[in-house]
Amino acid sequence: MSTRMPSECLRFLGPVLLSHLMKLLLVEDEPALRSTLLEALRQGGYVVEVAPGFDQAYEKIKLYRYDCILLDLTLPDGNGLDLLRALKADGSTAGVLIITARDAIEDKVAGLDLGADDYLIKPFHLSELNARLRAIIRRRQFQGQHHIVFRDLLVWPEQAEVLVRGESVPLTRKEYDLLLYLLANPGRILTKEAIAEHLCGDTVDTADSFDFIYTHLKNLRRKLQDKGADNYIRTMYGVGYKLSSE
Amino acid sequence: MKLLAATNRYYLAVVAVLFALASGVLYYGMQMALRHEVDEQLGLHQRQIEALVRVGQPLVATPFADQFVLSSWPRPLGLADTILPDPVEGTCVPHRQLTFRLLAQGQPRWVTLRKSLVETNDLLAVVLGVMLGVLVVLMLSILRLNQWLSKRLWRQFHRTLAALRHYDLQQHRPLVLPQPRIDEFAELNQAVTHLSQRLVADYESLREFTANAAHETQTPLAIMQAQLEQLLQVPALATDPTAAPLLADLYGATRRLSRLHQALGLLSKIENRQFGPTQRLNLAAVLDEKVDQLAPLLEARGLRLHRHIDQAPVLAMHPGLADSLLHNLLYNAIKHNQPGGSITVRLSGEALEISNPGAAIGGDPSRFFERFRKHSAATESPGLGLSIVQQIGAYYGFAVTYGYAVAGQVHTLRVAFGHSAAGPTT
């Protein structure tokens, strides 16, 4: 708590702290997916390097240090799990997020047992990828003692505390989850599907479940508005929602 | 009707007719033979008497007065049947008589020789009785023999039948049947084995195709989804209000497609038994987790959830499958609920029951578990949820049943754990 600073001071520092110094390695063999992910991650403010295969990835992890590695398990010239083993053998502090089309639960379990931080199954929402990445980096780099600043908003993830200009905003767990999800994707349009799956697990049949997102968003908006944080969440008609930076 | 009963029925009918015919033929045949014999004997006596008379011997009356009658008056000649009272027993007895004329000491005489037919009738009865008795015994023993033989010979057939009845294509093994000595059964077993081999091969290729298709489509879908999401972020999209919703629909459809493939992939993995080691799981804990996850959905639909946990069973299951089982059951109860309705979850050591109110559903309940089975065309879900529930149930030997209480209009899905808890059935 002693590290907490007035939100005004952190307002410009926050995004810098979180993103711009973060260096990622993207290990993905599919060119089209690789380029799209690269673009999205760079838009998120990360420094990203790519490795299309096992050998390049192996070379890179031996030579450089990364904050987080996005790892595809099925590579044409090797198994991503072996890269993970190599990383752990080197005592690397890098976070590892497994991305795999192999929905084999065994692989996930093996990956997590080997020390991966999280996993995502292809296809996934880019916004979900952002949220997971943020969570990993937050845990790894700051042991959770990190705060997120967005305009007048200050969030202490460790304490699950949300402040607007120093004033605490009481949120339910789902509303808080939703806010954190939005904060992981500032300025990005989040689809209804992505939000629904984030809140309810990825097996929810989203098509007929959007009504509950609306309820939660409405409540979250109202609570932020009560504290003077007006018009932060914009509705993109027929698409989804966006955390607006203006 | 059993084959044996059917053959026996025909057999008995034929035997009965033959029996009646044979009895008749036997009776009349024997009677004729015996009469002929009597006639011959009478003729022989006639010749003997005539020979005696010719050498001049006198005709003497015998003590058996009724068998030898002499008359001076003409009597009808030839063989004839007659009935005479038996002097000893006093009853009427059928007789055969032969009358002839001869000259004794120059006097014409009419001689009548008679023979009682009582003995021949008795003989006839004995012979017929013995014959028929033997026939009956023969027939009964043939019936018994048939029964015994069919039990013995058809054993192979019943074995094949039992093997077919217990055959499960999901085990991916062709039938292995013994080679009986009887050609017909050997051929049957060969044909059945061949059929099962072909079935397994076809099923195998279909299964592989499904699994590969589900897997291979995930990568292009991932590209589509990621690029569509990136496209949604393009600022130029804001200038045209119709473009973004179109893209969003496309995005949603991509998502649905990938979900469908995930569900199919899961199904084929369960069928392939590709799920590794099980863990001892407290189902109540998994249930709590799932309910927690689906809470926003329950809340949004105004559904109340009642949990009755008598006993929290600890089952040996794969955590992913336990999760999927509960998710699909709960999600099904949410989807097919009424606004402001409720969901009742009962968990005990024996079974898990999830009920929800709703109007009766037409159709055969057993078909609800089929793939792509939808209760209403409006829903966008592919209708694989209950199919997955059933497959997981089958995998662990749980009985999954559906019930509908008309009175309260309550649908109930029940998963009985049975005696398993020892991991997947093989």
| Full domain range(s) for residue A198 | 147-243
Q: Which of residues 195-224 of B touch A (CB under 8 A)?
A: 215, 218-219, 221-224
CATH number, domain of A120, equals 3.40.50.2300
Tally of domains in chain A: 2
Distance CA A196, CA A214 (A): 10
Least-confidence region, from A87-91, A100-104, B231-235, B277-281: A100-104
Same domain, A19 and A130: yes
Please answer yes or no on whether A200 and B226 come within 8 Å at the CB atom.
no
pLDDT tens digits along A109-136: 777 888 889 988 888 899 999 999 988 8
Q: Do A91 and A62 meet the contact criterion of CB atoms below 8 Å apart? A: no
Tally of domains in chain B: 4
Is the CB of A204 inside 8 Å of chain B's CB atoms?
A: yes
Same domain, A48 and A113: yes
CATH number, domain of A200, equals 1.10.10.10
Is B140 inside any structural domain? yes
The pLDDT of residue B420 is 47
Name the helix (H) or strand (E) containing A121.
Answer: strand A118-121
Please, which residues bridge with residue A49 across strands?
A: A25
A189–chain B nearest CA distance, Å: 6
| Full domain range(s) for residue B172 | 156-214
Chain B CA closest to residue A107: B276
Residue partners of B302: CB distance under 8 A and separation at least 6: B339, B340
B223–chain A nearest CA distance, Å: 5
Please answer yes or no on whether A207 and B230 come within 8 Å at the CB atom.
no
Tokens representing residue B51 in the block: 């020979």
Identify all chain A residues contacting B276, using CB atoms and an 8 Å cutoff: 106
Please answer yes or no on whether B301 and A208 come within 8 Å at the CB atom.
no
Tokens representing residue B192 in the block: 């059945």
Tokens representing residue B169 in the block: 């294509």
Is the CB of B265 inside 8 Å of chain A's CB atoms?
A: yes
Pairing of strands B351-357, B342-347: antiparallel
Q: Is a pLDDT exceeding 70 seen at residue A20? A: no
**Mean pLDDT, contiguous 10-residue spans, chain B (426 residues):** 82 87 88 89 88 80 74 84 78 86 81 84 85 86 86 85 84 81 88 90 82 77 91 85 87 85 81 77 90 82 89 86 89 85 90 88 75 63 82 89 84 81 44
pLDDT tens digits along B104-114: 777 888 888 88
Is the CB of A39 inside 8 Å of chain B's CB atoms?
A: yes
Rounded (5°) CA angle B280-B281-B283? 150
A23–chain B nearest CA distance, Å: 21
Is A200 inside any structural domain? yes
Is A6 inside any structural domain? no
CATH number, domain of B347, equals 3.30.565.10
Please, which residues bridge with residue A240 across strands?
A: A191, A236
B407–chain A nearest CA distance, Å: 29
The torsion angles phi and psi of B198, rounded to 5 degrees, stand at -65, -40
Q: Which of A142, A172, A193 is the last residue of a domain?
A: A142
Same domain, B69 and B139: yes
Q: Do B169 and B198 meet the contact criterion of CB atoms below 8 Å apart? A: no
Same domain, B86 and B8: yes
Same domain, A122 and A180: no
Dihedral-angle region of residue A37 (phi above 0 means left; psi in -120 to 50 means alpha; beta otherwise): alpha
Is the CB of B293 inside 8 Å of chain A's CB atoms?
A: yes
Distance CA A123, CA A126 (A): 9
